Amino acid sequence: MAWDLQYQQRKSGYLFRFEKYQSPKAILSCLVLYFFSFGFSYSQLKFSENSFSPVIDSLFKTQKSFFDTYTNFPNFYKIQIIYTQIDRDKNNNPVFTNHTWRLTPDEYFNPASFVKVPASIFAMEKINNELSKYGIDKYSPMLFEKNQECQQEQTWDSTCLCLYPNIAHFIKRALVVSENSPFKRLYEFLGQEYIQNRLKELGFGNTRIIQRFASDCDEEGNRYTNAVNFFDVDSNVLYRQPEQYNANYVHAKDSTIMVGNFVMDGRKKIRGGKDFSNANRVQLDHIHQFMMAIFFPKQMPEKLQFNLTQDDLNLLRKYLGLNPEESIDPKYDMEEYWPAYNNYFFYGQSKRAVMMKDVRIFNKVAMAYGFLSETAYVADFKNKREFFLSATIYANKDETLMDNKYDYSDVGMPFLQNLSLLVYKHELKRKVQYEPEFSELEMLFK
């Protein structure tokens, strides 16, 4: 028999519930966690590593001819999956059951835009913790100086009706259509050292955010971040954050994280793959927990209860769930950003997709170097169903990087789309005792 762990934080500790579908060895592990939970606070939730969930395996078998193509070669495709079932009690409190399939924290996948989620959280936390005493909030006007050669000054923002840069608008652009330039500004406001220290405090030391996007900065350049000025509506300076430098990050020159068999250098094909040892890195279970903390902050371990106001949480939830055509400020070109642009789950990013009006997908997608990934909280307002799903797949059959010939459309997208629909159909059939209350989420889009 096998057992999986259901977890819910209570004022008196942690509540565990067991299901009969994992090995007896896991029972002992869960009981140890249970007894220790009365004396210690966990920095993060627990997810089974290097295992293949019987629940997910059983779902794959319902479409065996399609999924065998992938599941027979899980190492080649570097597949990792986390599926969290949510059951509510009579008071609408959630109980989580985590199912993992080949979760491999030590195996690298490029997180690409996943980094925009923690950066958005940390930016608002930093304002609340350090800058609110100066009268600064997430809507305060900003100015970015240029202090290093690879940096760029920014004094205004043509994408905002207000015409000035501000944290809230950067977060919106980074989450709604996954623009890279706003993430660069969040990174520069936070500073490389601040980000890494905050990740370590969360117990996420293996996750690393050390690079801007949309930038020519090299390893040394990314240690530096621009000076930032905050103003009031009358253009008076409220606070100037000086240029920052991270002297504590050490890149182990003798360590490599190689992906692929070849890498393109211009027109030259070089054997050996690409080294990601000095690149951003996010574990799948870490980004999954960031998403859970946004939607269920009170049920998270103490370290994952971020210092965010209700307005901050609503901003994150709304922009994670907003489709491009629903955005007014900025208004996006539907030819460039169609309704399913940010949806690999359910819709496969298809321009012909018909969006389900009662199903809201609060998500972040990631695409880079052959890796295709998504993390999402799915809420079906009509059928009263909800779940978390995070997955990554490597879609690069020729094992050549930097050639812009990845297999996203014919390998990666079909897998993520069919996986999510499979889980969704399973949730519709799954019996629940109490239905979730979605009124607060629904109000965000009215």
In whole angstroms, what is the distance from residue 103 CA to residue 376 CA?
A: 16
* Interatomic CA distance for residues 286 and 289, integer angstroms: 5
Q: Shortest CA distance to 315 belongs to which of 117, 109, 148?
A: 117
* Residue 420 dihedral angles phi and psi, to the nearest 5°: -65, -40
Task: Report which secondary-structure segment, H or E, holds 289.
Answer: helix 284-295
**CB-based contact 272:254 (threshold 8 Å):** no
Distance (Å, whole) CA 301 – CA 14: 9
Task: Give the C-alpha separation, 165 to 183, whole Å.
Answer: 12
Q: Can you tell me whether residue 344 is helix, strand or coil?
A: coil
> What pTM does this model have?
0.90
Give the burial string for 74-100 (b: 16+ CB within 10 Å, else e): beebbbbbbbbbbbbeeeebbbbbbbb
Distance CA 243, CA 409 (A): 42
Q: Residue ranges per domain, the chain?
A: 1-40, 112-443
The pLDDT tens digits for 53-65 are 999 999 999 999 9
Look at the alpha carbons of 330, 331, 337, 343 in this order and tell me if their dihedral is positive or negative: positive
Q: What are the pLDDT tens digits along the chain (446 aa)?
A: 333 334 333 333 333 343 434 445 444 444 444 433 333 333 357 899 999 999 999 999 999 999 999 999 999 999 999 999 999 999 999 999 999 999 999 999 999 999 999 999 999 999 999 999 999 999 999 999 999 999 999 999 999 999 999 999 999 999 999 999 999 999 999 999 999 999 999 999 999 999 999 788 999 999 999 999 999 989 999 999 999 999 998 776 667 899 999 999 999 999 999 999 999 999 999 999 999 999 999 999 999 999 999 999 999 999 999 999 999 999 999 999 999 999 999 999 999 999 999 999 999 999 999 999 999 999 999 999 999 999 999 999 999 999 999 999 999 999 999 999 999 999 999 999 999 999 999 999 99
Three-state SS sequence of 20-67: ECCCHHHHHHHHHHHHHCCCCCCCCCCCCCCCECHHHHHHHHCCHHHH
Give the contacts of 172 (CB within 8 A, at least 6 positions apart): 182, 315, 319, 327
At 385 the three-state DSSP class reads strand
CATH number, span 112-443: 3.40.710.10
Q: Are 196 and 207 in contact (CB under 8 A)?
A: no
